[in-house]
């Protein structure tokens, strides 16, 4: 078992928990760092120590605090950023991190940075003739009205998402992505961003039709020899809930064609390190459309460990080859199984069916909650009897956030019901206004 290396994990979500659990299995001491207001891993027994800094600090101050702490940890320190903004910072300022004794499992930062910038990555896909959806990016300094006119010419529905996750995306009015069915829907959202547009870069991408189960991803690690260790999962639910997109996924053996395509794309990029590559299968022949590549350990990374692919251990062995790594025996499931965040899935199912009429609520909730889980063995990686603190923290966080949402909604309804507000409760923006806005922009 290894003891002469440390793992520093940035983050507090399922990504970080999965990495820590995988590394704990091979005897690597884990340390945590986070600037989140929801420290789900506080007091977790998987970590030797964790340091939290205020989310109000500037990013430069957070980086300084991180590097100061790194110097106190046993070297070498292998860094695992689970947040995309931290990943980009590590790659753009790798010299600063390396001087502090940090090992970053990414030998080709330019390829990872290209994948992290969704607009540049889409342009690369078009140049390389990779099958992907048409997309148009917006950057700071671009003309917001001109961008809207270009987007109006796209085939709707479209999906809008931040170019880099975590980069001031609260200004968008949504957390991860938003689906716009029609041009007026998009223009109404664009109007709310003001004449100058959002304060972060975004990407508008044509939506590829298909059920949620047509979203298939391969997560893995590419070592410095170009060898790929990968596991595959298929989404069974797609909700933009309190903890991100998708609470339920089916873990299955890698599809040979998707694995071949993944190797080809990553080879063209000269990619090295963690990846989570997502495809949308569409059409009668299930043509794979490349959606994106996340150059970091994804939320389901512990599912790969359950399938015999301990990705963080592979990263340490790759970056520190002098260390001897003993992998424990793993009983690989012979049948597909379900990775599920049980509590978030329950809360999101309740939210998704909250507006359904009481007569139909029970059947709607049962379908939304139980249908993705039925018939397969299930596992929630954060639910551990030997380490109950993360799940207890998760319960408190979700219940508190749900309560705040309910109170905010109640206050809005009460304010809207007061006389003199100029509209009835629940009344939205007049249709005529939307139509006029669309007509004016077209003119």
185 and 89 part of one domain: no
DSSP for 141-167, please give it.
TS-HHHHHHHHHTSPSSEEEEESSTTS
Long-range pairs of 326-333 with CB within 8 A, sequence gap ≥ 24: 326/1, 326/2, 326/26, 326/27, 327/26, 328/25, 328/26, 330/305, 330/306, 332/306, 332/307, 332/308, 333/251, 333/306, 333/307, 333/377
| Cβ proximity of 305 and 25 under 8 Å | yes
**Pair (31, 88) in one structural domain:** yes
116 lies in some domain: no
Taking CA atoms, 11 is separated from 26, 288, 337, 390, 435, in Å, by 20, 31, 26, 13, 44
Domain end position, chosen among 156, 176, 206: 206
Per-residue model confidence (pLDDT) at position 46:
95
Helices (H), 5-75: 14-24, 59-70
Strand 77-81 relative to strand 102-103, pairing: parallel
Contact 84, 73 (CB under 8 A): no
Residue 169, domain CATH: 3.30.1490.20
Do residues 199 and 220 share a domain? no
Residue 425 is assigned to a structural domain of this protein: no
Q: What is the pTM of this model?
A: 0.87
The predicted pLDDT at position 414 comes to: 65
Give domain status of residue 405, yes or no.
Answer: no
- Same domain assignment for residues 218 and 286: yes
Split into its structural domains, the chain has a count of 3
SS3 of residue 119 by DSSP: helix
Final residue belonging to a domain, choices 150, 185, 206: 206
Could you tell me if 27 and 86 lie in one domain? yes
pLDDT computed for residue 314 by the predictor: 94
Which residue blocks in 353-430 are alpha helix, DSSP H? 358-370, 389-417
Q: Which of 356, 384, 412 is the last residue of a domain?
A: 384
Which of 320, 209, 220 minimizes the C-alpha distance to 265? 220
CB burial class (10 A; 0-12, 13-18, 19+) of residue 282?
A: middle
Q: What is the pLDDT of residue 428?
A: 40
Does one domain contain both 335 and 214?
yes
Q: What is the dihedral of CA 264, 268, 274, 280, to 10 degrees?
A: -50
Q: What local confidence, expressed as pLDDT, does residue 438 receive?
A: 35
Structure tokens at 349: 């199912």
| CA–CA distance, 250 with 375 (Å, rounded to integer) | 11
| Domain shared by 179 and 233, yes or no | no
331, part of any domain: yes
Q: Write the CB contacts of 341 (distance below 8 Å, at least 6 apart in sequence).
A: 14, 243, 247, 248, 380, 382
Note whether 82 and 9 are within 8 A (CB): yes
d(CA 118, CA 258): 21
Token duo for residue 438? 């669309």
* Same domain flag for 379 and 261: yes
Q: Is 162 domain-assigned? A: yes
For position 91, which CATH number holds?
A: 3.40.50.720
What CATH number does the domain containing 380 carry? Answer: 3.30.470.20
Q: Based on the domain organization, do 88 and 221 belong to the same domain?
A: no
Asked if 289 and 282 count as a contact pair (C-beta separation under 8 A), the reply is yes
> Is 243 in the same domain as 380?
yes
Clarify whether residues 58 and 128 are in a common domain: no
**Is residue 399 reached through a cis peptide bond, with omega within 30 degrees of 0 on the bond before it?**
no
Identify whether 72 is part of a domain: yes
Q: Is residue 410 part of a domain?
A: no
Residue 411 placed within a domain: no
Residues of the chain with pLDDT under 50: 1-2, 421-443
Q: Considering only CA atoms, which of 401, 383, 230, 226 is closest in space to residue 310?
A: 230
Residue 11 sits in which domain range? 6-104
Q: Which residues pair with 240 in a beta bridge?
A: 245
Helix (H) or strand (E) holding 124: helix 118-127
Same domain for 220 and 313? Answer: yes
């Amino acid at each position: 078992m290894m003891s002469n290396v440390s793992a520093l994990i940035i983050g507090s979500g399922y990504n970080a928990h999965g990495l820590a659990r995988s590394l704990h299995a091979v005897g690597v001491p884990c340390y945590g760092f986070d600037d989140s207001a929801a420290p789900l891993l506080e007091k977790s027994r998987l970590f030797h120590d964790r340091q939290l800094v205020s989310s109000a600090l500037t990013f430069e101050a957070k980086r300084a605090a991180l590097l100061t702490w790194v110097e106190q940890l046993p070297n070498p320190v292998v860094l695992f950023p689970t947040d995309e903004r931290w990943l980009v910072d590590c790659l753009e300022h790798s010299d600063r991190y390396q001087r502090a004794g940090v090992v970053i499992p990414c030998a080709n930062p330019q390829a990872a940075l290209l994948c992290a910038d969704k607009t540049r990555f889409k342009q690369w896909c078009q140049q390389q003739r990779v099958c992907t959806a048409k997309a148009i990016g917006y950057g700071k300094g671009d003309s917001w009205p001109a961008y809207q006119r270009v987007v109006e010419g796209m085939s709707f529905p479209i999906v809008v998402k931040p170019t880099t996750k975590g980069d001031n995306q609260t200004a968008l009015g949504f957390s991860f992505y938003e689906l716009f069915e029609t041009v007026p829907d998009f223009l109404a959202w664009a109007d709310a961003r003001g004449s100058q547009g959002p304060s972060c870069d975004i990407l508008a991408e044509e939506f590829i039709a298909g059920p949620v189960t047509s979203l298939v991803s391969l997560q893995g690690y590419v070592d410095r020899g170009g060898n790929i260790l990968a596991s595959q999962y298929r989404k069974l639910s797609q909700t933009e809930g309190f903890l991100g997109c998708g609470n339920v996924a089916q873990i299955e053996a890698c599809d040979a064609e998707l694995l071949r395509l993944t190797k080809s794309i990553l080879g063209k990029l000269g990619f090295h390190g963690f990846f989570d590559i997502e495809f949308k299968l569409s059409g009668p022949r299930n043509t794979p459309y490349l959606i994106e590549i996340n150059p970091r350990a994804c939320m389901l990374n512990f599912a790969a460990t359950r399938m015999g692919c301990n990705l963080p251990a592979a990263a340490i062995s790759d970056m520190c080859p002098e260390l001897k790594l003993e992998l424990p025996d793993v009983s690989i499931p012979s049948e597909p199984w379900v990775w599920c965040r049980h509590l978030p899935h329950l809360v999101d199912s309740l939210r998704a069916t909250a507006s359904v009429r009481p007569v139909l609520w029970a059947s709607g909730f049962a379908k939304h909650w139980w249908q993705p889980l039925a018939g397969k063995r299930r596992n929630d990686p954060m639910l551990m009897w030997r380490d109950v603190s993360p799940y207890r923290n998760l319960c408190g966080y979700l219940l508190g956030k749900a309560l705040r949402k309910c109170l905010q909604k109640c206050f809005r309804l009460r304010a809207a019901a007061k006389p003199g507000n100029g509209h009835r409760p629940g009344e939205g923006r007049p249709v005529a206004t939307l139509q006029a806005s669309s007509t004016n922009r077209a003119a």
